[in-house]
Amino acid sequence: MKKTNLILASIFILASCTHTGPKMTPVKELASGEAVSPYYETDFVGGWDNKSRFVASGSHISGYKITQETCGQGEVKLPRVSISTRSGYCVGIVAGQEQGLIAPRTIVPITGTKDFLLADFGGWVRNNGRIILIKREGGTYTLRTLLEKLDYPHGLAFGPDGKAYVGVQDKIFRFNPLSRTPAQTVEVVIKDLPGMAFTMPTGQSIAKNIHPLKQFVFDRNGAIYVNIGAPTDACGAHLSPDGSCYAAESARPTAAIWKYTPQQGKIFKTLTAVDKNPAMEVIATGLRNSVAMLTHPMYPNEGYAFLQGENARDFPDPAQPNEELNSIKKGMNYGWPYCYNNRSVSPDFKDFLNKNTKYKNLCAGQASIAYQPPLTLFPPHSSPLDLKYYNSDRFPELKGTVLVTWHGYMPTGSRIAFARVDDKGFPVANTNALSYGQNCSGRKLVTSDVEQSVKGVQFEELITGWYGVGGVRPQGAPVGMTVAEDGSLWVVEDKNASILRIDKDDSPTVRMPEPCDSRSEEDIQELIGLIKASSKNAALLTNIRKNLVERHCMGCHSNFNLAPEMGEDEKDHTVAHYMLKQDSWFLPGNLKESRIHQRTHALGVDRPMPGNAADLLANDAGYRQVVADLDTLIKTIIPGDVYRIKLQSSPSLKIRDRNKNSCGAIPNKDEVLVINTRPSEMPGYYEIYKPAKKYMNGDCAPGTKYYLGEQYLERVGQRNPSSFVEIPQDLFISRPLSEMGQFGFGIEGPSVDLQGNIFAVNFGEKGTVGIVNPSGQGQKFVSLPQGSVGNATAISPRGRIYVADYVGHKVLTIDPKTKEVETYVENVGMSQPNDIVVSKNEVLYLSDPNWKNKSSRIWRVENGEAEVIYEGKEVFNGIDLSADERSLILGDSRTNKIYRFKIADKLTDPEVLIQFKGHEIDGLKVDAEDNIYVARIRKGVIAKISAQGELVQEISVNGQHPTNLVFGGIDGKTVYVTQRDGGFIESFRVDVPGRRW
C-alpha cells in the first residue's frame, strides 16, 4: 500500500496548533515481491508558526489564495478560501493539485471514523485513476493511494457488506479499504458494462462514448442502479432506419438506468471470468447522463424517492435547454433525445415525432411509450453532478434538505444549491416561476418552460459566488460531495483538483463579493484589432474558424455565437470574440496555460474539445495543422519576445507593479511574454504581458502594468514585432507524437533505430514492445515471452534490440528483422533490471534497483556474460554513458541525486553532480556536450543539467509523469519522452544532439 503525507500539514487540531507541521517524509510500503517503481511526494504546503497563525509556503493551493484566515468549528480548522456563501458558512481547503490530486470526482465517509475515501478519475486518460484514503492521523490528514491504474473511476459507495464499491468505465468492483493490501481484496461484482468503446446488441459500434463514467447507487435491498450514459450529445448520426436513436433501443439501451439485483440476499456474488452478471433490468430510459442519482434510505418501498439530475443536451442557445431533476419511476421514458424541459420537442426530431412510430407525440404524453416530465427544472447548462440529503444538526438551515452541485462553466454553473424535501425525500414544489443567478451578470435567469399550471422547486444557493477571480480563486467546478460524521460538508472539484470543506462561520465580518474580472470588452476588441492588423494572423484566424470551429465544434459551446447569415469577416470576428471572452481559454503568449490549447490537444482535466481530439491528432493531418495554427495565434497575437525565468534559490519570481509592490509570483521554468525591455518607469525590469490568473495574488488593481527583474530572465524565442511571426526554430516545446492511450501505464524505456522509429515497452498491455514511426503512428512490435515484462529497451550500433525484463529478472534480445525474442542473460541474481545503455563496442550497462530494500546493483554485460560492478544503498534508476563513454551517469530515485562514475573494473568514488528537492527522478540521457536530460516524474518536466552539475532549465511536457527519454530524429536533436499520463510518446527539439550523433 502506498502512503504519502501530502497537504495535510495544513490541517491541524487546535490542541496541536502551536506546533509546526510534520516534515513531509516519503513512505513506500510494498507487498512482498512487488516489482514497481515508487514515486515520492514531498511538497509541504503550510503549518502553524509559534504564534498559532497559519503560514503558507506558497501563496496558492489549486489556484485558491491562502491567507491567515481559517474556516472551521471545533477541532479542525483549515485555510479559508474566498468563495461567497450564504451568511453563516465558510469554505476551507483540505488539499489540492500541489499535493498530487489530478481530478477528484467523488468522496464518501468511512462510517464510525473521521476518514474518507476519494475517487480521483485521473482526467481523460486511460488507466490513470486512483482510490485514495483520506485519513485523520493525530493532528493531520494524510492521503494514501489504495488502488491505482484504474480506468476512469467515478462511482464510489459503501455496500451492505461494509466494503467499498467502485465504478470504472466497464465494471463495478468492491474491495476492503482497511486491508493492508487492498489491491488483493478486489472483487468484480458487475462486468461488461458499455465503456469508452462498445458494440450495441443491435450490432452498431460506438467508437467514442462521451459519457463512459459509471455512477451507481444502492437501494435498501442491496440492489445497484447504474448510470449508462448516452454515447453522444443528441444521437447525431446514430439513427435507425425509422429515424429513432438506436443507442436508446434494444434490451441493453444506453441513456438509461440499469438495475442489478444480488444473486442471493443483499450481497452480490464475486464474479469469475466465466460467471454471468447478476440479473439486470432496465428501470428508466431517455436519460442522457445520470451522474447525479440519489435514493431515499427507504427506497424502493412504495412512495419513496429515487432522484436523478439530468445533464440535458448542449443546445447552442445559452438559455436552453434547462437541466432537470427527475423522479425515477420504473418503466418510464424521460425524453432524450426527443424532448427537453417539460414537454418541448427537440427541433431535430420534430418530424420524427409526427411519424407513426411508438414515439409519436412522445413529449405530449400521447405515445405508446410512457413519458415522464421532470419533477422540476434546473438552470440551463448548469450540469448537476451530485445530489445528497442533509440531516445533520450542524447546519439547522440545511436539515431536511437535498443539496445539488452545479458543475457547469456557463454563468449559471459553479454553485451548490439546496431545497427542502418531504418525508419521502421529494423536493417540495413551491413556485410557478423559477429564477436563478448568473455569474457576473447582475440579473437573474428566469426559466422559460415552467408553465403557470406546473409548479416547480426553487432551489436556494448555498454557494453564491464561485466565478474565477484572478489571484484569488479559480472558477468553481464542484462534482461530488458528502456529509462528514461531524455534519460538515465536503466537496471535491475535478478541474481545480481540490478537496474543500464547508463549515459554520460565526465571524461578524461582513464579506463583500469578489469583483468580476473577466476580460473586458475593451480588452477583447483591442486583441481582435491586433489579430486583424497582421495579415498572417488574420489568415490563421480564418483557418481556425473554418477548419476547427465550423468543422469540429458546432453544436457545442453555443456554436461560438455563429449564425448562418453572417459574412466571412463577421464570422471571424465572432469566433475571436467568443474565444477571448471565455475564462482562461486564450492567454496571449502563454500556450501552456491556455485552456483551448489544452483541450484541443486532449491535455489536462477538461474534456477534450472536440471530443475525439486525441484521435484527430493521431490520424488527421489537417487537424494537426489547424491546432498548430491555433497555437501560433496564441503565441503571436501580442508582439514581444518569449523569456524563461532562470532558476534560482527561490521557487518563484515575484511579479511587481510600477511601485514594486508584489502582484503575485511565477514559478521558475515558466515562460513569459516580454513586451518592453526598456520601460522608463522601471529601470532594471522588463514589462511582461498580463500573467495567467493563477499566478496573481489579487492585490494589484486591474489595468496594472506588470514587471519582472531582467537579471532573472533569459530569452528562449524571438518574434518579429512587425509581422508577429515566430522565427522557425522552436526549441524545448514539447508536443504529443503518438496517440494517447496506445501504451499502458508502464510505458518506459524508449530507444530509436536508424530509420527513426521509436521503441518503448508495454504497448496496450504489459509484456509487449511497441513501435512508433516518426509521424506518430504506433503498433505492437512484439509480445515478450510469457511472464516477461519489459521496463526498458536499448538499441546497439549493430541494430540489436535489448529489453530489460524486470519481472523475469533477465535481459532479452529482439531481432528487428525476424522479431524473434531470445534470452540474452538470465539466472545471475538480478533483482529488477530497470534501464539499459549500450556502448559503441556492444557492452551493456544495467541499473538493477531493489525498491524494497532501498539498494541497487550496476551490471556490466559483455558477450552474454554479466558481472556486478557496483553494489550500494542508492536506488539507481536512470543510466547513460558520457559522450566519450568513459563515465557512467546514474540517477538515484531515493535521494534524487545524479552521480558520475568513471568506468573501471569496479565503480568507486562517485561524483555527485546535483540533488533535486522533491519529485522523483526517473530515466536520463546525455547529449554530445555531456548535458544530462532527466525525467522529473510527477513534476511534469524534463530537467537539463550541465556537465558541471548546474540546472540549466526545465522543459515542460504534456503530462505530470514523464518516465524516460531518448535522443533521435534525423539530426539527433529530437528528444522523445515516454509519458505515463495518458500512455503516449511526445517530443521536443533541442539545440545539441544526443551523445551518439
With a cut of 70, say whether residue 923 has pLDDT above it. Answer: yes
Same-domain check for residues 807 and 674: no
Q: Residue 429: inside a domain, yes or no? A: yes
Strand order through the sheet with 735-736: 735-736, 984-989, 974-979, 962-968
| 7 SS3 class | helix
Q: Residue 963: inside a domain, yes or no? A: no
Beta strands per DSSP E along 41-178: 46-48, 54-56, 60-61, 64-65, 70-71, 76-79, 84-85, 89-95, 104-109, 116-120, 129-137, 140-150, 155-158, 164-168, 171-175
Same-domain check for residues 41 and 105: yes
Same-domain check for residues 440 and 567: no
Please give the pLDDT value at position 727: 27
Q: Could you report the per-residue pLDDT of 753-779, keeping only the tens digit for each? A: 888 899 999 998 899 999 999 888 899
Domain harbouring 889, CATH code: 2.120.10.30
Same-domain check for residues 172 and 221: yes
Q: How confident is the model at residue 701 (pLDDT cuts 50, 70, 90)?
A: confident
Which helix (H) or strand (E) segment holds residue 535: the answer is helix 535-544
Residue with cell 503518438: 738
Q: Could you report the per-residue pLDDT of 498-533, keeping only the tens digit for each? A: 999 999 997 766 666 666 656 778 788 888 998 998
The mean pLDDT value for 558-573 works out to: 89
Please give the pLDDT value at position 649: 59
With a cut of 60, say whether residue 39 has pLDDT above it. Answer: no
With a cut of 90, say whether residue 704 has pLDDT above it. Answer: no
**Of residues 72 and 646, which shows the higher confidence score?**
72
**Of residues 650 and 777, which shows the higher confidence score?**
777
The mean pLDDT value for 57-62 works out to: 69
Same-domain check for residues 337 and 403: yes
Q: Could you report the per-residue pLDDT of 99-135, keeping only the tens digit for each? A: 889 999 999 999 989 999 999 999 988 899 999 999 9
Please give the pLDDT value at position 445: 63
Q: How confident is the model at residue 611 (pLDDT cuts 50, 70, 90)?
A: confident
Please give the pLDDT value at position 516: 65
- Compute how many other C-beta atoms are within 10 angstroms of the C-beta atom of residue 867: 12
Same-domain check for residues 132 and 172: yes
Reference 748, options 739, 757, 756, 758; nearest CA is 758
Q: Residue 150: inside a domain, yes or no? A: yes
Q: Residue 359: inside a domain, yes or no? A: yes
Last residue of a domain, one of 904, 921, 938: 921
Are 770 and 760 in contact, with CB atoms under 8 Å apart?
yes
Q: Which amino acid appears at position 879 of this protein?
A: I
Segment among 450-464, 657-671, 960-974 with least mean pLDDT: 450-464
Same-domain check for residues 227 and 270: yes
Are 124 and 495 in contact, with CB atoms under 8 Å apart?
no
Q: Could you report the per-residue pLDDT of 164-182, keeping only the tens digit for each? A: 999 999 999 999 999 999 9
The mean pLDDT value for 594-622 works out to: 83
With a cut of 80, say whether residue 408 has pLDDT above it. Answer: yes
The mean pLDDT value for 615-627 works out to: 87
Same-domain check for residues 163 and 278: yes
Same-domain check for residues 632 and 645: no
Contacting residues for 87 by C-beta, under 8 A, at least 6 apart = none
Same-domain check for residues 591 and 666: no
Decide the pairing of beta strands 280-285 and 332-333.
Answer: parallel
Please give the pLDDT value at position 139: 54
Please give the pLDDT value at position 8: 34
Which helix (H) or strand (E) segment holds residue 529: the answer is helix 521-533
Domain harbouring 687, CATH code: 2.30.30.40
Last residue of a domain, one of 636, 652, 683: 636
With a cut of 70, say whether residue 252 has pLDDT above it. Answer: yes
**Of residues 724 and 156, which shows the higher confidence score?**
156
Q: Residue 955: inside a domain, yes or no? A: no
Last residue of a domain, one of 584, 612, 636: 636
The mean pLDDT value for 441-470 works out to: 72
Same-domain check for residues 227 and 358: yes
Q: How confident is the model at residue 24 (pLDDT cuts 50, 70, 90)?
A: very low
The mean pLDDT value for 827-842 works out to: 90
With a cut of 50, say whether residue 66 has pLDDT above it. Answer: yes
**Of residues 133 and 7, which shows the higher confidence score?**
133
Reference 307, options 293, 289, 321; nearest CA is 293
Q: What's the gap between Cα 47 and its chain centre?
A: 27
Rounded CA-CA distance 836/844 in Å is 7
Same-domain check for residues 629 and 655: no
Rounded CA-CA distance 792/761 in Å is 6
Mean pLDDT of the chain: 85
Beta strands per DSSP E along 486-569: 489-493, 498-504
Decide the pairing of beta strands 140-150 and 129-137.
Answer: antiparallel
Q: What's the gap between Cα 828 and its chain centre?
A: 42
Q: Could you report the per-residue pLDDT of 726-755, keeping only the tens digit for each? A: 323 478 888 889 988 889 888 999 999 888
With a cut of 60, say whether residue 4 has pLDDT above it. Answer: no
Are 625 and 618 in contact, with CB atoms under 8 Å apart?
no
The mean pLDDT value for 940-959 works out to: 92
Q: What are phi and psi of 795, to 5 degrees?
A: -115, 125
Q: Residue 437: inside a domain, yes or no? A: yes
With a cut of 50, say whether residue 262 has pLDDT above it. Answer: yes
Q: Residue 927: inside a domain, yes or no? A: no
Q: What is the value of pTM for the model shown?
A: 0.64
Into how many domains does the chain fold?
4
With a cut of 60, say whether residue 152 has pLDDT above it. Answer: yes
Where does residue 659 fall: left (phi above 0), alpha (psi -120 to 50 degrees), or beta otherwise?
alpha
Which helix (H) or strand (E) segment holds residue 597: the answer is helix 595-600
Domain enclosing residue 611, as ranges: 521-636
**Of residues 627 and 53, which shows the higher confidence score?**
627
The mean pLDDT value for 769-797 works out to: 93
Q: Could you report the per-residue pLDDT of 314-366, keeping only the tens digit for each? A: 876 667 888 999 999 999 999 999 999 989 999 889 999 999 999 999 999 99
Q: Residue 123: inside a domain, yes or no? A: yes
Q: What's the gap between Cα 48 and its chain centre?
A: 31
